[in-house]
Structure 1
């Protein structure tokens, strides 16, 4: 009699465990699956290196000349944008040169300053290259060298 009760209780406990344990596991598995579905499919990341720049920075408080040598790559959204950037590299370099030469060393020598500079470069390069063209989709600027002297 005790054996039957133990087996019945064990069976009921096992049934409860498998039913509730499986339901809880399914709930936990569904939550990450929903998050994954919300993300857009990621294509290959496209990087376009830009030749290094050496520019005079705006004079500081002491009036001494300072220079910036910087190299970076652009992270682009698609191959069409990459071709547009390559085709207009002279305009890309001109816009960046004008932007960099307008900066003071004190503005860009902190991590926050570098982040802001990357945002400024993105803004400058998103402007259409042609009068009636569309904006370029520049996703990020990734510095590979950054020297202030």
Structure 2
């Protein structure tokens, strides 16, 4: 009878250590960081009519530490993306293959900017949640 409380006490002491060792073995999780507010700017369309773009962009990273590093460099990322989008024409963006090419260019530009600051590309992928031309 006296052995049971001692056994329960020893189990309660060991459980937190077991739980913390399980957390160490977990793989880093994939996170999507949305650039808020949306990116808005003018397009480089020739002609008299001024055209605008609005882009909602999400960046995929692995782990919360990478997301924190990404947040630190968000102004640089936003600047690079606005410059890239402003250099596009509406014909390029309206074509499906043009959007995919723009997405790839944007990813490369973001990775290059982050690599220049961090020494490694933190961003794994770039996704358009919304891309509107008006």
TM-score over 0.5 for the alignment?
yes
| 1:59 pairs with 2:45 | yes
Q: Confirm or deny: 8 A CA contact 1:72 1:143 kept in the other structure.
A: yes
Higher relative contact order (CA 8 A, sep 6+): 2
TM-score (ref. length: structure 2): 0.70
| 1:143 pairs with 2:128 | yes
Alignment root-mean-square deviation, CA: 2.2
What is the aligned partner in structure 2 of residue 8 from structure 1? none
Q: CA deviation at 1:94?
A: 0.7
Give the Cα–Cα distance (whole angstroms) in 1 for the partners of residues 117 and 39 of structure 2.
Answer: 29
Which of 51, 54, 60 is the aligned partner of 1:69?
A: 54
Which runs of 5 or more structure 2 residues have no equivalent in the other structure?
1-25
- Where 1:59 maps in the other structure, the secondary structure is coil
TM-score (ref. length: structure 1): 0.64
- Where 1:96 maps in the other structure, the secondary structure is helix
Which of 54, 70, 80 is the aligned partner of 1:85?
A: 70
- Where 2:118 maps in the other structure, the secondary structure is coil
Q: CA deviation at 1:145?
A: 1.3
Larger radius of gyration, structure 1 or 2? Answer: 1
Give the Cα–Cα distance (whole angstroms) in 1 for the partners of residues 117 and 98 of structure 2.
Answer: 32
Once the two structures are superposed, residues 98-144 of structure 1 have per-residue CA deviations (whole angstroms, 9 ceiling, x without a partner) of 11111111111122111111111111111244756312232222211
Give the Cα–Cα distance (whole angstroms) in 1 for the partners of residues 41 and 53 of structure 2.
Answer: 5
Which runs of 5 or more structure 1 residues have no equivalent in the other structure?
1-40
What is the aligned partner in structure 1 of residue 11 from structure 2? none
Aligned length: 108
Which of 84, 88, 97 is the aligned partner of 2:82?
A: 97
Structure 1 residue ranges, 4+ long, deviating more than 4 angstroms after superposition? 128-132
